[in-house]
Amino acid sequence: MAKDTHKGDKAEDFPRGATGFLGPDDAGPLPGTDLRTFRTALYEAARVAGGTVGEVEERTYPRTFHTASVLDRAGETVVLCHAHHPWIAFASQRRNWYDEEFLVPPPWARAFTDEGLTVLGRERLTTPLTAVDTSALTRDEWRGIRLYHLTTLGGVLFNAFD
C-alpha cells in the first residue's frame, strides 16, 4: 500500500490556491499543477496496476481538480489531481466535490510520488476541519464550506464551489 506522503504540517493545509479561490489581496493567477506530469504518472500507475487508463477529464470551473481513472482487475479507481497543487487523491466514483468519499491509496500510487506528486491518504483527507489550522481561509471560502456542508480537509481541497 502506498504511504501518505503529505507531511501533515498544518501550515501546508491551505497554501494559496488550495481551495481554488483567490484571496482579496492575491494578484495574478493561482499556481497550476503540470498536467503532463500527472498524465505521465497516470499511465505509469496503470502499467504497474496491470490495467489501463480510463477517461481523463481536465478541470473545468468551478472544480479544483482534474479527474482520471485506472481500470484494473479490481475495477475502476478514480484518481483526483488538484489543479493548483501537486496533490493526488483516490475515490471510488466521479463526483464534482468530495468530503469523506476518499479511498486508501492503492499500491500503484507510488507512480505519482515517483513523478514528484504528493499522494494524500484517506486518513489525512478525512481529517475534520476542527483538527486543522483553518486560519488562512477567507470569508468567501468559509461561505462555500458552509454552503456545501464540508467537514473535512479533503472536502475543502477537492471542491466545486464558486
pLDDT tens for the chain, residues 1 to 162: 444 444 443 446 788 789 887 766 767 788 899 999 999 999 999 999 999 999 999 999 899 999 999 999 989 999 999 999 999 999 999 999 999 999 999 999 999 999 999 999 999 999 999 999 998 888 888 888 998 899 999 999 999 987
| Separation of alpha carbons 28 and 68, rounded Å | 28
Helix, strand or coil, per DSSP, at residue 67: strand
Cell of 12: 501546508
pLDDT at 73: 92
pLDDT at 90: 98
pLDDT at 5: 47
pLDDT at 23: 64
Q: Which residues, in sequence order, are CB contacts of 36 under 8 Å at separation 6+?
A: none
Q: Which residues is 57 bridged to in the sheet?
A: 67
H-helix or E-strand spanning residue 118: strand 118-119
Half-sphere CA count of 76, side-chain side, radius 13 A: 12
